[in-house]
Amino acid sequence: MPLSKDQIVPALVQLLGETGVVSEVGDMAGYVSEPRHRFHKQAQAVALPRTVAEVQAVMEWANEVGVHIIPQAGNTGLVGGQVPLFEDEVILSISRLKGVRNVDAAAGHMTLDAGTTLQEAHDIAEDAGMMFPLYIASQGSARIGGVLGSNAGGVQVLSYGNARELCLGVEAVMADGSIYKGLNALRKDNTGYDLKDLLVGSEGTLGIITAATLKLFPKPDAHETALLNVASPEAALELFAMMRARAGNTLTAFELMPRIGIDFQLKHGMMAQDPTAEMSDWYVLVEISVPKGGAAGGLSQAVESAFEAGLVSNGVIAETLSQREALWNAREQMSEVQSREGASIKHDVSVPVAAVPELIARGSEAAQKAVPGIRPVPFGHLGDGNIHFNFSQPEGADGMAFMDGADAVHDAVYAVVRDLGGSVSAEHGIGQLKTGLLKQVKDPVALKMMKAIKSALDPKGILNPGKVLG
């Protein structure tokens, strides 16, 4: 018999005090609803531990009495992993576990409590004269525990890697309340299974990350940024290879955008004028980070060669910070502008980089067959093979009726992704949104291994039940 709310709340109050528990339905609103408002379930309570010992106490109790716990950090996840799936669950928010444990700029790492926001992590790194290079639009709210829990990506994965690659070690409270003390700063450690890598990206199903040691990098001296007109995704891919060959790891962003996204931004007043002098079917935003002591001007030389090679037909290189910001806005507004254009069906997918043009061509064609008039808006991290393959409703269509056909569009796109050897979730994870899909697409042996790990580390199924594995 699951415990009732009348049993759960007093038990939590005993562990965390009155101020450590939220239980009124109205007060829990900000915790049970996620950014896109797609998943709606009440929780029995929200636990707000202030210390790692309090997280342990809650988990020991939950494991003993069989109460399900949903780890939550900044609540910006896009697949519903951080909100309840069933109404008998308790959210454990790590938002009050904030702080700096250590910063070692010379050695290139810092250790932060998991409730620290990503923006705060950037500020802490900056104060030490360094950089933590994980940038996502939700960084003001997203917290280190959630960023690691979901293995977030962002716009500089190309050069620095995703959250997993930026993390050296974690501390985590496991389902039974025991603590995994893996906060090492070792760059090399071959002593068996990599438990840090297992916990990062586990979406709160294996343990609750309470602190992490993160890599720091020297701050670049300058950024050189351009928006370039290219004829097609194929030309963009060729340009990427050329830029990468010239700039190597200093090529920190290579983002693809279709003309339709620029048209939407002009139409909805998010952009005053065309960003380059001539219209183009496709654009890429390219950024090179110039290291301290490095030579400036590498981007304009590369762009000149690209013009000569016929890969680029027009473009603009930012000369001021505000011009750089305007170019980035054009990229970052791509998602929001789609909601102003009506309903949209979205896919966060990846394929081998060389297959991106084929993904876009075949995926667009397949979706247009499924829903005539549907408007493809594929954009994103071409350099990572990660495209946000979104589709806007046909002009003048009824948004609700359009969304009723979403499954046919998903099937069409995911079939192409699978055929190209890609992933159905590149950045955002599985959560509760894609559990059915995971079962269909994941290698059966991989699924068996994942289930074995889950039952070994959380035999009673206390942490985030039903998420990821279904």
Using CB under 6 A, list all residues that contact ligand FAD.
35, 71-78, 81-82, 94, 114, 136-138, 142-143, 145-147, 149-150, 152-154, 203-204, 208-209, 427-428, 431, 464
Rounded to 10 deg, the angle between the 233-247 and 356-370 helix axes is: 150
**Nearer to ligand FAD by C-beta: 174 or 311?**
174
**Nearer to ligand FAD by C-beta: 94 or 131?**
94
- Rounded to whole angstroms, the Cα distance separating 39 from 85 reads 8
- Rounded to a whole number of angstroms, the minimum distance from the CB of residue 311 to ligand FAD is 27
Q: Where are the beta strands (DSSP E) in 56-206?
A: 69-72, 90-93, 100-104, 109-113, 130-131, 167-174, 179-182
**Nearer to ligand FAD by C-beta: 284 or 303?**
284
**Nearer to ligand FAD by C-beta: 147 or 387?**
147
Q: Are strands 69-72 and 100-104 parallel, antiparallel or unpaired?
A: unpaired
Residue nearest to ligand FAD (CB): 146
- 372-409 in b/e form (b: 16+ CB < 10 A) is eebbbbbbbbbbbbbbbbbbbbeeebeeeebeebbebb
- Rounded to whole angstroms, the Cα distance separating 77 from 227 reads 29
- Rounded to a whole number of angstroms, the minimum distance from the CB of residue 18 to ligand FAD is 23
- Rounded to a whole number of angstroms, the minimum distance from the CB of residue 77 to ligand FAD is 3
**Nearer to ligand FAD by C-beta: 35 or 66?**
35
- Rounded to a whole number of angstroms, the minimum distance from the CB of residue 163 to ligand FAD is 7
- Rounded to a whole number of angstroms, the minimum distance from the CB of residue 177 to ligand FAD is 15
CB atoms within 10 A of CB 138: 19
Burial class (CB in 10 A: 0-12, 13-18, 19+), 331: buried
- The residues, any chain, with a CB within 8 Å of residue 165's CB and separated by 6 or more, are none
- Rounded to a whole number of angstroms, the minimum distance from the CB of residue 233 to ligand FAD is 20
- Rounded to a whole number of angstroms, the minimum distance from the CB of residue 277 to ligand FAD is 30
**Nearer to ligand FAD by C-beta: 140 or 310?**
140
**Nearer to ligand FAD by C-beta: 118 or 312?**
118
- The residues, any chain, with a CB within 8 Å of residue 193's CB and separated by 6 or more, are none
- The residues, any chain, with a CB within 8 Å of residue 260's CB and separated by 6 or more, are 375, 376, 377, 392
